[in-house]
Chain A
Amino acid sequence: MADVLNRAGGMGEVAEVAGPYEIAPFGNELVALGRENPDIVGLSADMSKYSDIVPFMKEFPERYFNAGVAEQNAVMMAAGLAKVGKIAFCATYAAFLSRRALDFIAIACAHSKANVKIVAGSPGLVNPYGATHQSLEDLVVMRSVPDLTVIDPCDAVELRHVVRAAAATPGTFYIRNLRGKVPVVFDEQDFTFEIGKARLLRDGTDVAVLSTGFMTERALKAADAARAADVSAAVLHIPTIKPLDEAAVLDVAARVGRVIVIENGLRSGGLGSAVTELVHDTGLDTPITRIGLHDRFHPCAAQWYNEREFGLDQDAITGAVITGVWSGR
């Protein structure tokens, strides 16, 4: 039945992975890190399976703590573990972390610069279970927390590198997680990830597409389609939302003269707002189109269905890059 919204067992996976993919990149990278460093510990709140942390749980049961359905306690326990010298990776769904556990992420973790890595799954519209499970505002909320590094990786390769970089860097991180079959967009061979650095994946002259998370795959496809339509599109991938790579953003905004920001989150308050504020405060008058989620609760429906409904599918994004007009507005 084509219109069934729920895929039993596949909960919280990105929809329709057509190209190459990896399975459980977060959990597998955490296992590798755990072998290298006995101070790595893992936590979840009854979402071990749905956060892909099971490989770590299996290999290091003594270093794995399941808080049960108790997100606040999971984050507090992670903070406590960090305070006695551990590097604590705490993984569950973004919606429950960024809503219920926010106080504990802000105060017990970020304020103490605790070595806690919050790993937040099912971002944006990935989950079909509607308002309670879809994380619209996590990037907005987390961007507002001082001393918190916020990262939205694009694919499996970047996610693994982000997990590794976070483990090697003291402080509190909020990392968006992709689980299950995770697309491979980048080439491991020439891949580098640096916290706080954006990467210019394509240069162009007509429009600069600034994107984060898995939206960057769509931005790249849109840029390719645009070329065929004689539109030269630059793509600046911005995995680290905070701290923002201001120099990279200002460089393309000034050079290219028209900016589109695409994110898998609220179009107000997240990356789009960060870019707009920066460009405006610098005195540039570059026009900016922000593409993202609307200020409303979204229906229960499959990811692809909602994205088509609200203008986040490939067609809408390609159209915006070519014509400058976003159909989702």
Chain B
Amino acid sequence: MTITDVGDRTAVTGHELRDRAFRLRQRMMAMAADKGEGYIAQGLGIADLLAVAYFRQLRFDPAWPDWPERDRFVLSTGHYSIAMYAVLAELGVLSEEDIATYGLNGSDLPMSTFDETPGVEITGGSLGHGLGQGVGMALGLRLDGSPARVMVELSDGELQEGSTWEAAMSAGSFALANLTAVVDCNGIQADGPMVLAMEPVADKWRAFGWAVEEVDGNDIDQLCRAFDALDAHPDRPKVLIARTTPGCGIPTLMARERAHFVRVAEGEWASLIEELEAARG
């Protein structure tokens, strides 16, 4: 078995994880290039979080994505598919040929992650579906005495859906210690910057009975420390609030208006990829 269980998590170096995050960004840019793809900014923003989740936190067997004992990673924000496919390619679950078809008519990889893709746990795209299903998974795994844990990614936009808070209340009530939510707070939604007053996000989760850590979601070391800190709460669900920057890793995209659908001109992709390489430092 080739599970990604790293045993002693603290032994994984920040350097290794930053390497992974960089490669995820490279893969995303290659997938998006010249396809008019608008969700690249979100993908770049969540790359660090995904690197830490998959290469430090989760137990997952790339050779057997359906392994019953696996930790479940639920991507609730289905339109972040480009990021998920980059991870699955980095793990070897998806092939280079698979991800080359991203964004094309006839591709097997949907624009939102659907659970027919190996390694994808739920059908996303309709926002607000992830946390409730994560609660169900956590309840079922706990019932079976399984050591597997559930990690649910959701976006700040999804914090506006009622279904998210129905799920949050139930998880707190059921004291689901095997459930961790990671919230990608990138400050944008479809209409631009957040249209509702969202803060204080952390206090909302606390009030629902969750253990909370809040970090810069583009800082690998902070992310690792936050996950470790959350482990100190064996009696309740945990949430990591990650403040991320859309377009992270590519200064031109980071500086662009905080728009949900970032526009990249046809000839611009090559120079953005160069920027990514240069900014690696």
Binding site for B on A (CB under 8 A): 1, 3-9, 11, 44, 46-50, 66-70, 72-73, 95-96, 99-100, 128-133, 299-302, 305
Contact = CB atoms under 8 A, between A and B. Distances in A.
Interface in B246-268: 261-264
Q: When A and B form their complex, which 3 residue pairs have the shortest distance between CB atoms, in order from nearest? A: A132-B125, A68-B160, A8-B36
Given A130-B111, A131-B123, A68 B157 contact: yes
Which residue, B114, B191, B261, has most C-beta atoms of chain A within 10 A?
B191
A117 B170 CA distance: 34
B38 interface: yes
B110 A50 contact: no
Contact of B261 (A11, A47, A72): A11
A35 B149 CA distance: 56
Contacts of B191: 44, 46-49, 66
Contact of A6 (B35, B123, B162): B35
Given A5-B103, A9-B38, A69 B158 contact: yes
B124 A300 contact: no
Given A3-B105, A100-B126, 10 more contacts: A4-B36, A6-B35, A6-B36, A46-B160, A47-B190, A66-B195, A69-B189, A130-B110, A300-B112, A302-B105
A50 to B, nearest CB: 7
A6 B112 contact: no
Nearest to B192: A49
Interface of A is mostly: loop
B111 A128 contact: yes
A300 B103 CA distance: 9
Contacts of B162: 70, 72-73
Given A4-B36, A8-B37, A68-B160, A132 B124 contact: yes
Nearest to A2: B105
Interface in B190-232: 190-191, 194-196
Nearest to A99: B126
A99 B262 CA distance: 28
Contacts of A6: 35-38, 103, 111
B7 interface: no
Interface in B87-129: 103-107, 110-112, 114, 123-128
Interface string B49-74: 00000000000000000000000000
A300 B157 contact: no
Contacts of B107: 5, 300
A3 B105 CA distance: 6
A129 B261 contact: no
A116 to B, nearest CB: 19
A168 B74 CA distance: 46
Contacts of B112: 129-130, 132-133, 300
A70 B160 contact: yes
